[in-house]
Amino acid sequence: MILITGASGYVGNNLVRHLVAQGKAVRALVHSPAKAAQRLADIRDRIEIFQGDVTRPETLRPALEGVSAIVHLVAVAIEKRPGDYERINTQGTINVVEEARAAGVRRLINMSQNGADSRLPYRFLASKGKAQEYVAASDLDWTALRPSVIWGPQDEFANVQARLIKLTPLIFPIVGDGRARFQPVWVGDVVAATARCLDDDRTIGQEYALGGPEVLTYAQIVERVLAALGTRRLTINVPVPLLRPVVKLMEVALPNPPVSSSLLDLLKVDNVVEHNALTEVFGIEPRPFTPENLTYMRQFTALGALKRLLGRPTADEEVS
Ligand SMILES: NC(=O)c1ccc[n+]([C@@H]2O[C@H](COP(=O)([O-])OP(=O)(O)OC[C@H]3O[C@@H](n4cnc5c(N)ncnc54)[C@H](OP(=O)(O)O)[C@@H]3O)[C@@H](O)[C@H]2O)c1
């Protein structure tokens, strides 16, 4: 039995489907039962679903019974409450490690992040770095995956650009100089690499960076999204300090802000993979982030984008 934490999340529901298709027994640890009911509806009968909160270790215990491996995906990129990064990303991972040890579960795949480092001033990356440090120092049979930004129909990066484009008729603001470089990796490739780790004990004790086939600047990513949507905008570069008060206002006013102050800083930091394990270790040919592969964005509407910002996403935009 494989326990997946964060199973109704973006990477999570894709991984659940992949493992079920491989015939694996899957137990999904979910936080919000309502979200799980929606995201996992079509495979509900083929998996076990347990509700749990990584910040409350006692809620993890029932889910760990009879488990042979854990894929730990829980993390928050946008904080709902101050301190969520430390509480959920770092301490939540520590709790998973300690509960796994107590339950005698030895195998753990930890979804880290390219660039995660406990010494960085960026709280999100530091929280993920501290989490992985704890995993690596444990006596578990761990593997860590460190993807660059992950794209796909449910992502919260490229799709955020696409939805904001729908809301900005003529001009589209690019954060900073737009030159920060990313290596967008397709969710299906990340999930395939994760599944390989579960099947291959040679991956124990290793950290694998995962990236797509191309390095793209933030401005190039926006260009490809515009091409996918079949539209044009005059793009203007807006310095981060000018955007900061706008983002602060969105954080206060919107239930589902598209970006947070701490993520704004990361839009100017390179997120490029030096040795791409996707190709070099797993032999996977990564799917490129091209307009032809982004056609799902065409279903986004201005009204849908607005509803999402207000925390009421429409079901028709929830594609997997
Ligand atoms: N997306 C990317 O571009 C990217 C890139 C590199 C690495 N990663 C890493 O990949 C992993 C998965 O990311 P994702 O994009 O799939 O994120 P996601 O869609 O936000 O999923 C995270 C999941 O964690 C759950 N969760 C949040 N707080 C929890 C808590 N206290 N207890 C239990 N569950 C909780 C959420 O459930 P609710 O929604 O019900 O609260 C959600 O299902 C993360 O570790 C992330 O850092 C992601």
pLDDT at 47: 98
pLDDT value of position 260: 84
The encoded tokens of residue 60 equal 């993890």
Q: Are residues 55 and 179 in the same domain?
A: no
Domain count for the chain, please give it: 2
The per-residue pLDDT for 96 is 98
Q: Does residue 142 share a domain with residue 41?
A: yes
Distance of CA 88 from the midpoint of ligand 1 (Å): 10
SS3 298: helix
Query: Among 121, 147, 173, where does a domain finish?
Result: 147
pLDDT tens per residue, range 166-201: 998 899 999 889 999 999 999 999 999 999 999 999
Query: For residue 261, how many other CB atoms are within 10 A of its CB?
Result: 18
Inside any domain, residue 38:
yes
In this structure, what CATH number is given to the domain that contains residue 307?
Answer: 3.90.25
d(CA 265, CA 269): 7
CA of 73 to the centre of ligand 1 (A): 6
Q: What's the confidence (pLDDT) of residue 319?
A: 45
Tell whether 117 and 228 lie within a shared domain: no
Residues 223 and 266 in one domain: yes
- What is the per-residue pLDDT for 266? 87
Mean pLDDT of 150-155: 96
One domain for residues 162 and 133: no
Q: Identify the residues whose C-beta falls under 6 Å from ligand 1.
A: 6, 8-12, 31-32, 35, 52-55, 73-76, 88, 92, 111, 113, 128, 147, 149-150, 157
Residues 127 and 223 in one domain: no
pLDDT (tens digit per residue) in 248-304: 888 888 888 878 887 888 888 899 999 999 999 999 999 999 999 999 999 999 998
In DSSP notation, 124-160 reads: HHHHHHHHHHHHHHSSSEEEEEEES-EESTT-SSHHH
Residues 34, 82, single domain; the answer is yes
In one-letter notation, the amino acid at residue 257 is P
Domain contains 201: no
In this predicted model, what pLDDT tens digit does every residue of 205-229 receive, in sequence order?
A: 999 999 999 999 999 999 999 999 9
Average pLDDT of span 308-313: 78
* Residue 312: pLDDT over 80: no
Supply the range of the domain harboring residue 291: 149-186+211-272+287-320
Same domain assignment for residues 133 and 220: no
pLDDT of residue 234: 94
Is 221 within a domain? yes
pTM: 0.95
Res. 314: pLDDT tops 70: no
Q: Is residue 173 part of a domain?
A: yes
In this structure, are 132 and 257 located in the same domain?
no
* Pairwise CA distance, residues 158 & 150, whole Å: 9
Pair 25, 133 in one domain: yes
Q: What is the pLDDT of residue 63?
A: 98
Q: Of 19-23, 76-80, 259-263, where does mean pLDDT reach its minimum?
A: 259-263
For residues 16 and 70, state if they share a domain.
yes
